[in-house]
Structure 1
Amino acid sequence: MKIKILILAIIIFAVMNTAHAEDQQPPAVYLIDVILYRPLGLIATVTGSAVFVAISPLTALAAISPPHDAFEKTANLLIMKPAKYTFDRPMGVYYPDGDGEYRRY
């Protein structure tokens, strides 16, 4: 019963949020974003964090040689990119532009 209420609340939130949107994308775009892509991004962030912790000894070995940025590159790939996709991306925008920032067109 709680799952049904949660799904209904997400659907209502997605539809209400699109009523004030500046662009003319259909509500299904926002609904797919809320129900599918955001949870998958959260799963990717959590999984990437676990993998980052698991391979941190190997990353430390890789950071011995110059330029000493193995931790930054690994954290960016496994944690920061999925987190930005999940939390920083505007509703209904799925792909970044050329400089890596998500912008609404």
Structure 2
Amino acid sequence: MDEQMGMLPQPDLAAIDVDTVLGALADPVRLSIVRELDRVGESTCSALDVPVNASTVSHHLHALREAGVVTTRIAGRTRPSRLRTDDLDARFPGLLNAILRAEPASK
């Protein structure tokens, strides 16, 4: 997918590596973004309900897209992102669901 097709570049399904996915999801802000995208379906960085500013969310969405966790489409001046749930389930069955449903560690 490319910008001519209305999507920002992302890795092909076969190129997504489990170590890269887990590394991206190890960051607590990225994990909260992924959980919020799971809840809302699709969102822009400024509309996500996470405890950081929109520019920080944008940075983390970029990292998640490069890891193959989210896909981002071009919609005029906005860049809504969504989880690549079906792709990740095909590549790593049950992984995303297990991560999303895991209880956070108590502090």
Using structure 2 for the length normalisation, give the TM-score.
0.23
CA radius of gyration, larger in: 1
**Hey, which of these two has a bigger chunk of strand by percent?**
2
**Hey, which of these two has a bigger chunk of helix by percent?**
1
